[in-house]
Amino acid sequence: MSRFWSPFVRDLVPYVPGEQPKMANLVKLNTNEHPYGPSPLAIAAMQAAVNDDLRLYPDPNADQLKTAIAEHFELAAQGGDKSWVFVGNGSDEVLAHAFHGLFQHDLPLLFPDVTYSFYPVYAGLYGIRHETVALNAAFEIDPADYARPNGGIIFPNPNAPTGRLLPLAAIERLLADSPDSVVLVDEAYIDFGGDSAVALVGRHPNLLVTQTLSKSRALAGLRVGFAIGQPELIEALERVKNSFNSYPLGRVAQAGAVAAIRDRGHFGAMQDMVIMQRDSLTTRLERLGFEVLPSGANFVFARHPEHAGPALTAALRERAVIVRNFRQPRIEDFLRITVGTPDQHRALIGALEEILAGAV
Ligand code: PMP
Domain end (from 214, 238, 262)? 262
**Beta-strand pair 321-322/27-28:** parallel
For the chain, the domain total comes to 2
- Is the same domain home to 277 and 257? no
Provide the 3-class DSSP secondary structure of residue 326.
coil
- Is the same domain home to 64 and 97? yes
User: Quick one: which atom of ligand 1 is closest to the CA of 18?
Assistant: 8
User: Quick one: which atom of ligand 1 is closest to the CA of 212?
Assistant: 16
Give distance in angstroms: CA of 134 to centre of ligand 1. 21
d(CA 20, CA 339): 17
- Residue 293 in any domain: the answer is yes
- Is the same domain home to 190 and 79? yes
Q: Phi/psi at 336 (nearest 5 deg)?
A: -100, 115
CA diameter of the chain: 61
Residue nearest to atom 1 of ligand 1 (CA): 188
User: Quick one: which atom of ligand 1 is closest to the CA of 220?
Assistant: 15
Q: CATH number for the domain including 312?
A: 3.90.1150.10
User: Quick one: which atom of ligand 1 is closest to the CA of 31?
Assistant: 8
Domain end (from 247, 262, 277)? 262
Give distance in angstroms: CA of 43 to centre of ligand 1. 22
- Is the same domain home to 22 and 33? yes
- Is the same domain home to 239 and 279? no
d(CA 108, CA 295): 29
Residue 322: per-residue pLDDT: 97
- Residue 2 in any domain: the answer is no
- Is the same domain home to 247 and 346? no
Residue 291: per-residue pLDDT: 98
Please give all residues whose beta carbon lies within 6 A of any atom in ligand 1, as ranges: 90-92, 116, 156, 160, 186, 188, 212, 214, 220, 225
pTM above 0.90, yes or no: yes
Q: From first to last of its 360 residues, what are the pLDDT tens digits of the chain?
A: 899 999 889 888 888 888 888 888 899 999 999 999 999 999 999 999 999 999 999 999 999 999 999 999 999 999 999 999 999 999 999 999 999 999 999 999 999 999 999 999 999 999 999 999 999 999 999 999 999 999 999 999 999 999 999 999 999 999 999 999 999 999 999 999 999 999 999 999 999 999 999 999 999 999 999 999 999 999 999 999 999 998 989 999 999 999 999 999 999 999 999 999 999 999 999 999 999 999 999 999 999 999 999 999 999 999 999 999 999 999 999 999 999 999 999 999 999 999 999 855
- Residue 1 in any domain: the answer is no
Q: What b/e readout covers 316-343, taking b as 16+ CB neighbours within 10 angstroms?
A: bbeeebbbbbbeeeebebbbbbbbbeee
Give distance in angstroms: CA of 298 to centre of ligand 1. 12
Residue 23: per-residue pLDDT: 81
- Is the same domain home to 32 and 99? no
- Is the same domain home to 185 and 315? no
Measured from the Cβ of residue 117, the count of other Cβ atoms closer than 10 Å reads: 14
The per-residue DSSP string of 202-218 comes to GG-TTEEEEEESSSTTS
- Is the same domain home to 144 and 255? yes
Give distance in angstroms: CA of 33 to centre of ligand 1. 10
Name the E strands within the chain.
27-28, 85-88, 109-112, 130-133, 153-156, 183-186, 207-212, 225-229, 291-292, 299-303, 321-322, 334-338
The domain containing residue 86 runs over which residues? 40-262
User: Quick one: which atom of ligand 1 is closest to the CA of 92?
Assistant: 14
- Is the same domain home to 78 and 168? yes
Residue 359: per-residue pLDDT: 57
Give distance in angstroms: CA of 243 to centre of ligand 1. 23
Strand (E) or helix (H) holding 348: helix 342-357
- Is the same domain home to 45 and 62? yes
Domain end (from 262, 284, 303)? 262
Residue to substitute in 92, 117, 184, 187 for testing ligand 1 pocket (most ligand atoms within 8 angstroms of CB): 92
Residue to substitute in 20, 33, 116, 223 for testing ligand 1 pocket (most ligand atoms within 8 angstroms of CB): 116
Give distance in angstroms: CA of 91 to centre of ligand 1. 6
Residue to substitute in 16, 19, 186 for testing ligand 1 pocket (most ligand atoms within 8 angstroms of CB): 186
Give distance in angstroms: CA of 173 to centre of ligand 1. 25
- Is the same domain home to 244 and 287? no
Q: CATH number for the domain including 72?
A: 3.40.640.10
Residue nearest to atom 4 of ligand 1 (CA): 188
Give distance in angstroms: CA of 184 to centre of ligand 1. 14
- Residue 146 in any domain: the answer is yes
